[in-house]
Amino acid sequence: MPKISRRTLLKSAAVVGAYGAGVGLAGRFGMAKAAAHPITLEAVKRDAVIVGNEATHSVLTYESAGLNVGPMPPLLRLTRGEPFAAQLKNSIDEPTTIHWHGLRIPNAMDGVPFLTQPYVYTGDTFDYAFTPPDAGTFWYHPHCNTLTQMGHGMTGVLVVEDPDDPVFDAEIVLNLRDWRLGGDGQFIAQFKPRDAAKSGTYGTVRTANWAVEPTHDAPAGGLVRLRLAVTDVTRIYTLKLVGADALIMAIDGQPLPVGEPLDTAVISPGQRLDLIIRMPDDEGAIVKLEDIRPSTPKVVANFRAVGTSLKRNLGDAPTFRPNAPVEADFSTATAIPLVLSATAENAAKESFCGSLGYSFWAINKVPWPGDSDDPTAPLAELKLGQTYLLNMENVTPHAHPIHLHGMNFQVVSSSNGPVAPLVSDTYLIMPDEKVQLALVADNLGDWVFHCHIIEHQKTGMTGYFRVI
């Protein structure tokens, strides 16, 4: 990480005018109407106990008065259609920003250095303000030196409530992530180049809400809404629930038309899952949420039935109000080929936003050179309101959770078999898979499109679309 000088600040300030086609253009999503009372999210470095009794040094997190429960970034609760405002205060020793993952908000609020906003330097602030158009489970994280900043803790869950959300007997929100810690509880190297060139470098300690195998109490015989967000930089989970039945109600914040019985669910970095669990009737019974990928089950979290059974029926769980559909016009759609590949290994350009020093991956043969004030050309220029078909092909032997900022797509078809017409912002494309995603370019600006295995993102598997 190079030192950032004030001279660089002035240089980057000079190109502020180029940022954010969203500035002054309300678009269909609108800027926040009346200013909401802003919360403060202060990026801080501190000690925190993650595993055992010893404090881990150099943990990075967000602090917000009255909202934190422990050292984890606070769970933010917004309301669909109501203005939200947060002032980022940077108290860590390098630049940062906040990206609001999965929220369809104006480009100027998207938090990507150079493409949508300037760096927020140490000691500086940045005011985010927007009105979330969709309800669901989302999350937030930096988009600067992300492997370090996210790897050291800066990943928080964000819930957008709908005033019409059905009420359940309990709600539990879990932030699923790993840590790269050595036996002494201190951070070890965040990645290994040979792993970055494969499926990524896995954490050594798994947590849910920054706790190893936590147990949460829930009413016996009750219906519990479980919101899960995978905020890890690498790990893909295959989740299974042992000891209770559950319905999948929403994927990536988007409600399903009807709840689907949970068998196993694959959920990758960037993705979210909303479940309704029917807790056992017997007081003290334990339900286990397990990760069975690749084979030996690992406990992610436990849920303990407490009290006298409420005797609910899972079949009575009400569905959620849908978010806006992707209104694709297939008759006028333009196809955009997107080939995800490895690239000839070479050194990446130095980047203020943290280069890993390698380039292993590419989209359409172009490895992202790193965040800079001279980025590569967009993957494509999209016309506002037009429908596009992203014909994405993974010619690598690894899975990639590909994330699009600012807009949703609809899954149309896959070479791997029948697909549900899911609406999402993140698609886990498997090795050798070809998938077709329909996208309506309904939000102006430059929108990043990248793999959410952060080592892949940072070593080339990144690009952006420009909506004009």
Among 250, 404, 451, 467, binds Cu ion (CB under 5 A): 451
Among 190, 456, 459, 462, binds Cu ion (CB under 5 A): 456
Give the contact letters, 192-231, x = binds to Cu ion (CB under 5 A), - = no: ----------------------------------------
400 binds Cu ion (CB under 5 A): yes
Nearest by Cα to 138 from 130, 127, 146:
130
Q: In degrees to the nearest 10, what's the CA dihedral of 98, 104, 108, 111?
A: 20
Q: Rank residues 241 and 453 by Cβ distance to Cu ion and give the closer one.
A: 453
> Minimum distance from CB of 176 to Cu ion (Å)?
18
Q: Rank residues 216 and 456 by Cβ distance to Cu ion and give the closer one.
A: 456
> Minimum distance from CB of 439 to Cu ion (Å)?
20
DSSP characters over 390-444: EEEEE-SSS-EEEEESS--EEEEEETTS-----EESEEEEPTT-EEEEEEE--S-
Give the list of residues 6+ apart from residue 413 with CB closer than 8 angstroms, or none.
419, 435, 436
**Binding segment toward Cu ion, per CB under 5 A, in 72-80, 201-209, 375-383, 456-464:** 456-464
Give the contact letters, 302-331, x = binds to Cu ion (CB under 5 A), - = no: ------------------------------
> Minimum distance from CB of 455 to Cu ion (Å)?
8
412 binds Cu ion (CB under 5 A): no
233 binds Cu ion (CB under 5 A): no
> Minimum distance from CB of 447 to Cu ion (Å)?
18
The strand pair at 55-63 and 84-90 is best described as unpaired
* CA-angle at 97, arms to 250 and 450, nearest 5°: 55
402 binds Cu ion (CB under 5 A): no
Q: Rank residues 107 and 199 by Cβ distance to Cu ion and give the closer one.
A: 199
Structure tokens at 393: 């092909």
> Minimum distance from CB of 367 to Cu ion (Å)?
13
180 binds Cu ion (CB under 5 A): no
Nearest by Cα to 42 from 69, 16, 9, 68:
68
* CA-angle at 57, arms to 53 and 60, nearest 5°: 115
Among positions 59-118, residues that touch Cu ion (CB under 5 A) are none
450 binds Cu ion (CB under 5 A): no
Dist CA 87 CA 42 (whole Å)? 8
Structure tokens at 328: 């694709």
240 binds Cu ion (CB under 5 A): no
Among 32, 208, 453, 467, binds Cu ion (CB under 5 A): 453
> Minimum distance from CB of 398 to Cu ion (Å)?
6
**Binding segment toward Cu ion, per CB under 5 A, in 7-15, 98-106, 214-222, 453-461:** 453-461
Could you tell me where the DSSP H helices lie in 188-329?
Answer: 193-196
**Binding segment toward Cu ion, per CB under 5 A, in 173-181, 284-292, 304-312, 393-401:** 393-401
Q: What is the largest CA-CA distance in the chain?
A: 65
Structure tokens at 342: 């490895």
Dist CA 325 CA 308 (whole Å)? 41
> Minimum distance from CB of 400 to Cu ion (Å)?
3
Dist CA 254 CA 268 (whole Å)? 16
Residues that bind Cu ion (CB under 5 A): 400, 451, 453, 456
